Amino acid sequence: MKRLLLSAALAASSLAPLACDLEKTGNQLAADHVMVGTLLSTPQVDVSASALAGYDAGTFGADGGDVISLPAQTAAVVFFGTRTGENSQPSGVAGASVTLQPEGGQATTLTEDGAGSYSRTSVGDEGLQYQSGATYQFIASRSGTRYVGQVDNSPPKETVAAFHPPEGFLRIDANAALAFDRAAVPEGQDRTLGFVTVVPLSADGSQGDPTYTNVPKAPLQFLQLVGLPGPYREARVTIPGTAFPQANKTYLVIFQAVRLGGAESDNLFLGSALLAGTAEVGVVRTR
């Protein structure tokens, strides 16, 4: 684990410009404060009521009467903590003031949830809206000191062609794997990271608990992601059949294309992981 976190820090440093401030990089390598943050946005999703009810005929009504709309949502989550060793789970820092701010835009204050976690969603703050192309700063302030992480050039929604069949939703067998190809990357650009979450939908459009996700959960997993992002950049994505366990059920497949950022201030650990991105959503109906 020690080697893994060290490789994460070195990978982050390799992303810095050649003319980087070596003193700053050295300070970041030695810093004992760490930040993990995500800004993730999901667009409004229009789901066929026929698909939810399991009808074979009809998808989206011409007058919109056969559509259930799931509202758009943006969520920001930050873990702010300290590390006592290269191979240790970071400990959360309580009592900080944590904000998220797009460059030149309005800051959003996150609510403290305990154990070093802070969060906010657009459900409680309509001003929290995702902006593609923006530079986002994640800022934690405590005892007069600011710790800043940053994501540059937040990505636009990545269209997944397989999510848009003529019928309006995909049909697969229960317990069958689902694979799709990501959009081609423009020459000279790196592919963004891709995260997948699958959630079941009830007949009224209510979402259940996820049946599958490859999103890291613990702060240490996010820190490891900095050093080993490769699996999240594959051109072809395969979701295991266990994500679709029930027959005659409707599922949402949420694919988040995110850009990876890191520490900006020199008092924040170089391997800190900050992510910002927005989602493409597919609807799956099992047989």
Q: Looking at residue 20, what is its pLDDT?
A: 54
Q: Is the pLDDT of residue 265 over 70?
A: yes
Q: What number is the average pLDDT over the span 182-201?
A: 93
**Model confidence at 186, in pLDDT bands (50, 70, 90)?**
confident
Long-range contacts: 231-236, Cβ < 8 Å, 24+?
Answer: 232/193, 232/194, 232/195, 233/190, 233/191, 233/192, 233/193, 233/194, 234/182, 234/194, 235/181, 235/182, 235/191, 236/179, 236/180, 236/181, 236/182
CA angle, residues 54, 60, 63, in degrees to nearest 5: 135
Dihedrals phi, psi of 227, to nearest 5 degrees: -85, -25
Q: Looking at residue 203, what is its pLDDT?
A: 81
Dihedrals phi, psi of 93, to nearest 5 degrees: -105, 120
Cα–Cα distance list, 110 to 21, 77, 91, 205 (Å): 31, 8, 19, 28
Q: Looking at residue 168, what is its pLDDT?
A: 83
Q: Is the pLDDT of residue 68 over 90?
A: no
Dihedrals phi, psi of 165, to nearest 5 degrees: -75, 165
Q: Looking at residue 167, what is its pLDDT?
A: 82
**Model confidence at 2, in pLDDT bands (50, 70, 90)?**
very low
% of the chain beyond a pLDDT of 70: 86
Q: What number is the average pLDDT over the span 233-250?
A: 96
Q: 98-102, 162-166, 177-181, 201-205: which has the minimum mean pLDDT?
A: 201-205
Q: What number is the average pLDDT over the span 209-218?
A: 95
Chain centroid, CA 224 distance in Å: 15
Q: Looking at residue 58, what is its pLDDT?
A: 40
